[in-house]
Amino acid sequence: MNEEIDSLKEAEKEIFENDIATDTKQRPLQRHHHSDGNLVAGVVLVAVGGIFLLTNLTGLTINNWWALFILIPAFSNFKRVWRGYQANGRLTHSTRGSLTGGFILTLVASVFLFDVMTWDIVWPIFLIILGINALLGSWFD
């Protein structure tokens, strides 16, 4: 009986070693993935730095610097759109909603930051963005 147990242990050991050898050959090297927070934070910092550089080079003034914080959820929406597009290969209902939200938040932040457009010009643009979203929904769903 001990001989049978020993032979079973040897057979199990060989199977285990073969599984490990084939598993390491089939599995590609994994790269480190950065968290989503790092990606959003990096994009926001680059955008804020770019805006400040633009204001220093062109003389364009930022009236309400706090409006830069509106860009954080806007970039988060754009990231969600990109991930959804990569996963599905097309714009789905939720990705179109995120895209629309990102454009609207970016427009609101631009109005507050640069003060070049008035709200009587902006609200029709909101309607145009929502209309384009509805059209995309009717064409691609």
State the 10-residue block means of pLDDT for the chain, 141 residues long.
75 71 52 63 82 84 82 90 89 87 91 81 90 79 56
Residues in contact with 101: Cβ distance below 8 Å, sequence separation at least 6, in sequence order: 73, 74, 77
Q: Which of 43, 108, 113, 109 is nearest to 78 (CA)?
A: 43
pTM: 0.58
Helix axes 71-88 and 93-114, enclosed angle (nearest 10): 150
Residues in contact with 116: Cβ distance below 8 Å, sequence separation at least 6, in sequence order: 110
Return the pLDDT at 30.
52
Return the pLDDT at 92.
85
Query: Are 111 and 119 within 8 A, CB to CB?
Result: yes
Return the pLDDT at 15.
76
Task: Look at the chain and count its residues.
Answer: 141
Return the pLDDT at 102.
93
Show the tokens assigned to 133: 């979203």
